[in-house]
Chains A and B, each alone.
Chain A
Amino acid sequence: MSELTVSRLSKSFGGVRALNDVSFRLEPGELLAMIGPNGAGKSTCFNCINGQLRPDHGSVQFVGRDLVGLAPRAIWRLGVGRTFQITATFGSMTVAENVQMALISHHRRSRALWPLATRLYRDEALGLLESVSMRDQAERRCNVLAYGDLKRVELAVALAHDPRLLLMDEPTAGMAPKERIELMGLTAQIVGDKNIAVLFTEHDMDVVFANASRIIVLNRGEIVAEGTPAAVRANPLVQEVYLGAGSTYKPEARPAHA
């Protein structure tokens, strides 16, 4: 059975169709990239899945449960993790405490009034940090971290409740090329180990073509292409609406001029 099945999703804002009849599936262990021009409906699609928006039509099945109408918190509890385009961490807390917060919430203890938060689930948190190579920075405050490291902390936080599905909104935005490749490589390795399904949006075609197992292309709220990176790259329609002539990303990723 598919991890995530999105069927016939539609959403309008003030008469403008932001999302029109979008359907796709996502299997465990798969990294599915969603690309398309700005305003194509990527964010809307994302937000319909994570509960920030309620679609007008359609359903979002996650391991057999319909997510439509559930609050973002409830969806998180079902095992959907997410990272933000612009990092969102708790700046006044240490790296370890950031992960501990996710664990405290996972164990439903965020309203406990007596225990000392900084001592709860510490080992678990350090273990997660180990997996994203941030163990050595566990005691540093998040507001002094480098941007690339913050992204790693976000990944550790997103993994804290053992999600089965990870939603990553432009995970490498604002990072240097080398860090981009490293972060997505790390993500691919972790989700491979744990068999997590990943849906991500991305503007950096180098990252997309290097890591995605499959790509869907959105344009004006509709899916215009879907398939392997090679197939999408060669698709003339995709080249026209999105990729262009290919002068702005890695040569080997350019569409083949046949």
Chain B
Amino acid sequence: MSFYFAQFLTGLASASSLFLVASGLSIIFGVTRVVNFAHGSFYMLGAFIAYSLVTSLPPGPFWFWGGVILAALTVGVVGVIMEILVLRRIYQAPELFQLVATFGVVLLLKDVALWTWGPEDKLGPRAPGFDGAIDIFGSRVPEYDLVVIVVGFVVLAGLWLLFSRTRWGALVRAATEDREMLGALGINQALLFTGVFFLGSVLAGLGGAMQLPRASVSHHMDLAIIATVFVVVVVGGMGSIVGAFLASVIISELNAFGILIFPQITLVLMFLVMAVVLVIRPWGILGRPEDETAGEEYEHQSLSWLPSRAARLAMAGVVGVLLLLPFVVQEFYLVLMTEVFILALFAASLHFIMGNGGMISFGHAAYFGLGAYGGATLLLYGDTPMLLAIALAPFVAALGAAVFGWFCVRLSGVYMAMLSLAFAQIVWSIVFQSSGITGGEDGLVGVWPAEWASERQVFYYLTLAVTLGGILALWRMLFSPFGYSLRAGRDSPRRVEAIGIGFRTHKWLAFVIAGTFAGLAGGLYGFAKGIVTPTTLDIPRSIDALMMVLLGGVQTLVGPLVGAFAFVVLEDRLLAFQYWRAIFGLIIIGICIAMPEGIVGSTRSFLTRRGLVSSGR
């Protein structure tokens, strides 16, 4: 009995630190409507800065706590800088760009941390005065855990008082509903936003700094916590402080007790909690439904006309050139182009739901990776011939997409983005931990093409044929009644239901189709690389897909293909640099701020302005 109570306290301590981070994200989202991906990076930064401060300041409780608080405040300042430099420019942009831009900050801060603190994990000192353990009902509980629990409750009470008892709190709540109106009533919203961002970032930094005595500081803290934090805010209800607290407690306690049975079950439990909550309360335990008409002001751009005859001829010309390519270029470029084809299909599959259906998936790599692992395991464990393995790979992905998609399509906008990311992270963790089957971090090696396809040229043609077929099939579906129904739902969910179309079912089917084609791309990818590692389904890979779509242009048909090409070329060039992530992050931020229409969209707008292309009927 006493053991379980101790375990409960351990869970509560984890909940407390998770709540600090989650509440910060929730507050920032509530007011600015931006889901800050870099919030996890702020958490990591808080830990690193606290490490530096605490180890360089004199020992003793005063300096220890001073260092922790100073670290949190420093992170707050970093948050303010990010808000002013990046977010202020994109508050008006579609939420997709905001999410992706903040991911650019994630990459940037990752390299900043690497440059500042080096690649090794850091082990901080114990908290002076709380470095022992106390006896509770016969079980030893670390004193510091109790400190963390107390801080969690103090922050919860403080935030509650701040928001319900002060005018500033009322302003924040008002801004959550209608920031423009608040501006017209004489409130300087820019200042309010910056203040809120400071508060939220300080909470993330505090969460990170408080971890110092509990765990080593590592470079994986950012993405590791952000997925969990997303789960917490989706389950608790976006914007609800108390909801975030409840969800933190539920999830942390499940972890604390689930781990007693066996470690992997915690992932399954997390999934089950999300599933149950979202089925009963789609907006989270204490969340409120979004206004149904909110998304309808979407600036509808193109993607509506069938490609003209000239455009079709041009595309045929490009395919002709690709067919001749093996006769003129070196093998290295064929390898590069093979990757372009595969990623183009991957990007096109995401574009199918994103551009046309308005569904933002931040976990599309899960289906790419499921396809890759599906094909590889069939080959290695089932001796399946290559072509059959590639043909079956999409079904593995489709199965995953069917299960996860069923939940994802219940949400929309950023909620869906966060949920899809959380699911992808669960798949990643399962693959990572099941090293007996998947090879864990090292992945599955020896995924080579069949002998007849082992020549680079042959595999090039095979890939070209399969991906081209896939892309054309996706395009055809865009213009079918199904694709139109999807777009109709994106334009007006109210109207589409009012003409008898079950939008949710259509979204789900579209999600499965997109997952299937991503799986096909993944299946090919394994054979192209000869190895399948967990990076095929990690968060950065999901962001890669988004990047390709954005780079090319969301509201264009060929955008994802051009985006994939640009992406592969870019990556090929950037990998030569040590701090390529930072450069890549800056490029991402730059695109979101300066070129939201992407390469194809911007070119089209340019030509339209010059009168070279008609702007449609």
Residues of A within 8 A of B (CB): 72-73, 76-77, 82, 84, 86, 88-94, 97, 101-102, 104-106, 109-118, 120, 139-141, 143, 157, 160-161
Contact = CB atoms under 8 A, between A and B. Distances in A.
23 contacts: A72-B498, A76-B499, A82-B498, A88-B293, A89-B492, A90-B496, A92-B490, A92-B491, A93-B484, A97-B484, A101-B484, A102-B499, A104-B481, A104-B484, A106-B500, A113-B482, A115-B480, A117-B480, A117-B481, A117-B483, A139-B617, A140-B617, A157-B495
A90 B482 CA distance: 15
A109 B497 CA distance: 15
B300 A143 contact: yes
Contact of A90 (B293, B477, B491, B506): B491
- Top 7 closest pairs, chain A to chain B, by CB: A88-B495, A92-B300, A117-B484, A90-B491, A91-B300, A76-B500, A110-B485
A101 B499 contact: yes
A92 to B, nearest CB: 4
- Output the residue of B303, B484, B501 with the most chain A CB within 10 A: B484
A160 B293 CA distance: 23
A73 B502 contact: yes
Interface of B: 293, 296, 298, 300-301, 303-304, 306, 476-477, 479-485, 487-488, 490-492, 494-502, 506, 509, 616-617
Contact of A114 (B296, B476, B490, B616): B476
Contacts of A141: 300, 304, 616-617
The listed residue with most B CB atoms (<10 A of its CB), out of A77, A111, A141, A157, is: A111
Given A93-B304, A114-B476, A140-B617, A105 B491 contact: no
B501 A73 contact: yes
Contacts of B303: 92
Contact of A92 (B481, B487, B617): B487
B494 A84 contact: yes
A115 B481 contact: yes
Given A72-B498, A76-B500, A111-B509, A93 B293 contact: no
Contacts of B495: 84, 88-90, 157
Given A84-B498, A110-B501, A118 B485 contact: no
B491 A110 contact: no
Nearest to A106: B500
Contacts of A88: 293, 296, 492, 494-495, 498
Contacts of B499: 76, 101-102, 105-106, 157, 160-161
A113 B480 contact: yes
Contacts of A89: 491-492, 495
A98 B339 CA distance: 39
A197 to B, nearest CB: 18
B80 to A, nearest CB: 37
Contacts of B477: 113
A244 B498 CA distance: 35
A94 B501 CA distance: 19
A125 B319 CA distance: 37
Nearest to A50: B498
A161 B480 contact: no
Most buried by A among B293, B300, B480, B487: B480
B481 A91 contact: no
Contact of A110 (B298, B301, B482, B498): B482
A49 B617 CA distance: 39
A110 B298 CA distance: 23
Contacts of A160: 499
Given A111-B482, A117-B484, 4 more contacts: A89-B491, A91-B492, A92-B301, A117-B483
Nearest to A160: B499
B481 A110 contact: yes
Contacts of A97: 484
A110 B489 CA distance: 12
A141 B498 CA distance: 20
B510 to A, nearest CB: 10
Interface hub of B303, B482, B488, B494 (most chain A Cβ within 10 A) = B488
B491 A93 contact: yes
B356 to A, nearest CB: 10
B553 to A, nearest CB: 15
Contacts of A113: 476-477, 480, 482
Contacts of A101: 484-485, 488, 496, 499, 501
B481 A112 contact: yes
A140 B617 CA distance: 6
A106 B481 CA distance: 12
Nearest to B488: A90
A92 B357 CA distance: 12
Contacts of A77: 500
B480 A73 contact: no
Contacts of A115: 480-481
Most buried by B among A73, A86, A140: A73
A118 B306 contact: yes
Nearest to A112: B481
A178 B476 CA distance: 44
Contacts of A117: 479-481, 483-484
A92 B509 CA distance: 22
B299 to A, nearest CB: 9
A44 B47 CA distance: 53
B492 A111 contact: no
A122 to B, nearest CB: 13
Given A105-B501, A114-B476, A93 B506 contact: no
B192 to A, nearest CB: 29
A128 B293 CA distance: 27
Contacts of B509: 111
Contacts of A93: 304, 484, 487-488, 491
Nearest to B303: A92
A101 B499 CA distance: 8
Contacts of B479: 116-118
- Which of B296, B298, B300, B490 has the most chain A CB atoms closer than 10 A to its own CB? B300
Contacts of A105: 485, 499-501
A105 B490 CA distance: 16
Nearest to B485: A110
Contacts of B500: 73, 76-77, 105-106, 161
A125 to B, nearest CB: 13
Contacts of B304: 92-94, 141
Nearest to A76: B500
A139 B502 CA distance: 26
A213 to B, nearest CB: 25
Q: Which of A86, A118, A139 has the most CB of B within 10 A?
A: A118
A72 B497 CA distance: 7
B261 to A, nearest CB: 41
Nearest to B305: A118
A91 B491 CA distance: 6
A176 B617 CA distance: 27
A104 B485 contact: yes
Contacts of B300: 91-92, 141, 143
A164 to B, nearest CB: 15
A117 B301 CA distance: 18
Nearest to A86: B293
Contacts of B506: 110-111
Contacts of A94: 304, 617
A13 B332 CA distance: 68
A139 to B, nearest CB: 5
A107 B306 CA distance: 23
B478 to A, nearest CB: 9
A104 to B, nearest CB: 5
A152 to B, nearest CB: 15
Nearest to A107: B481
A115 B509 CA distance: 17
> Which residue of A76, A84, A90, A161 has the most chain B CB atoms within 10 A of its CB atom?
A90
B16 to A, nearest CB: 34
